[in-house]
Structure 1
C-alpha cells in the first residue's frame, strides 16, 4: 500500500515537472514572438490600428503566454490583440499566425489560400520546416532556436531585419 502511494506521488511529481517544462517552452516562444514583432515590418504597418497575433487551434498554453506577454502592447501605433484562430478568414486578419506542432500539415490547403497576404507564419516542427513557414521553432541541444525563411517573407512583403536574420539557425 505504501509503495503504491509513493509511486502515485512520484508519478504526479514527474507529471508536474513535465508540465512546467512545457510551459517554460511556451514562455520562451512567446518572448521570441514579441521580439520578432520588433524586428519585422509589415506592409501598411504605420496605418494599422490593431496588430493581430493568432494561435491556430486550442493550444491554450501558448495562447495564455502570448496574452500575458504581448496582448495590449503596441507595435508602432497599433495595439496588439491575441486571438484563437480556426478559419482561413481569421488567418487573413493576422499579422502573426502561430501554428502549434503537428498542425501545420493539416493546414496546408488553408495556408496556400493565404497566398501573399502579409501573415508571418510561425511553426514549431522539429523534424522538418514546413514549406509555408516564415519562422520555425526547433529545440537543438536543449535550447529553443528558430529557422527563418526570408524568401517566403519577401514574397509576402514582410521585411525582416538583418539582426533577426543573423540570429536564425538555418
Structure 2
C-alpha cells in the first residue's frame, strides 16, 4: 500500500487527466454521426487502470449536462473499444499491448490517450507527460488525421509538443 501522500498525489493527477479528457470533447471533432454535436451521450473508455476509472467517472458525471451525457466505461476488452468509444485511455498495465491496441484502432475514430512513455511518438493521439511538475500534452496530429479526427488549434497551442509526421 502506498503512503497517503502518494495516493493523494495519484488521485489529483487522475482528476487533472480526466479534466483534460473532458475538454478534449470540446476541442476534437469526430466525423459524421459520431460528431459530439449529434450525440446525446458519448462513451469515454479506459483500459488497464481501474483507479483512473473511478476518479474520471466522478469528473464526467459532474460534467454531464442534459444535452450531453459523458459515460465512463471501464473497457476490460479493449478490442470492443472501436464499436462504441469516442475516447480510449490506455493506462498502466497495458504497456505490452500498446502497439497492438494502436494498430487495431489506427483508422478508427477513437481518440487514444495515455500517460505511458512515448505514447504519442509511438502512434497514439494524445500523450500525457510530466514537465516542470505539471501535466502537459504531446499531440500526434498525423495519428488523429488517420483516425478521421480533427484537433482544434486551441488544443494544439497548449501542447508541449505537436507531432505532425
TM-score for the superposition, normalised by structure 1 = 0.81
Shift in alpha-carbon separation, 1:52–1:146, aligned structure 2, 3 A: same
Shift in alpha-carbon separation, 1:125–1:88, aligned structure 2, 3 A: closer
Query: What aligned pairs does 1:55-94 form with structure 2 within 5 A after superposition?
Result: 55-57=46-48, 59-71=49-61, 73-74=64-65, 77-92=67-82, 93-94=84-85
Query: 2:102 maps to what in 1?
Result: 111
1:30-66 Cα shifts (integer Å, max 9, x gaps):
1111111111111121433431100102x23211121
Post-superposition offset of 1:74:
4.8
Query: What aligned pairs does 1:151-170 form with structure 2 within 5 A after superposition?
Result: 151-170=142-161
Q: For 1:38 and 1:109, how far apart are their aligned partners in 2?
A: 28
Contact 2:106–2:143 (CA<8 Å) still a contact in 1?
no
2:119 counterpart of 1:129: yes
Structure 1, unmatched stretches of 5+, are 1-11
1:3-23 Cα shifts (integer Å, max 9, x gaps):
xxxxxxxxx9x8011110111
Deviating beyond 6 angstroms after TM superposition, the runs of 4 or more aligned structure 1 residues are none
Query: 1:5 maps to what in 2?
Result: none
Q: For 2:160 and 2:96, how far apart are their aligned partners in 1?
A: 22
2:136 counterpart of 1:145: yes
CA RMSD of aligned residues (A): 2.2
Which residue among 68, 84, 89 is the counterpart of 1:98?
Answer: 89
Q: For 2:154 and 2:103, how far apart are their aligned partners in 1?
A: 28
Q: Which has the larger radius of gyration?
A: 1
Contact 2:45–2:85 (CA<8 Å) still a contact in 1?
yes
Query: 1:16 maps to what in 2?
Result: 4
1:110-152 Cα shifts (integer Å, max 9, x gaps):
33122311000001024x2352310000111211111000111
- Bigger CA drift: 137-146 or 47-56? 47-56
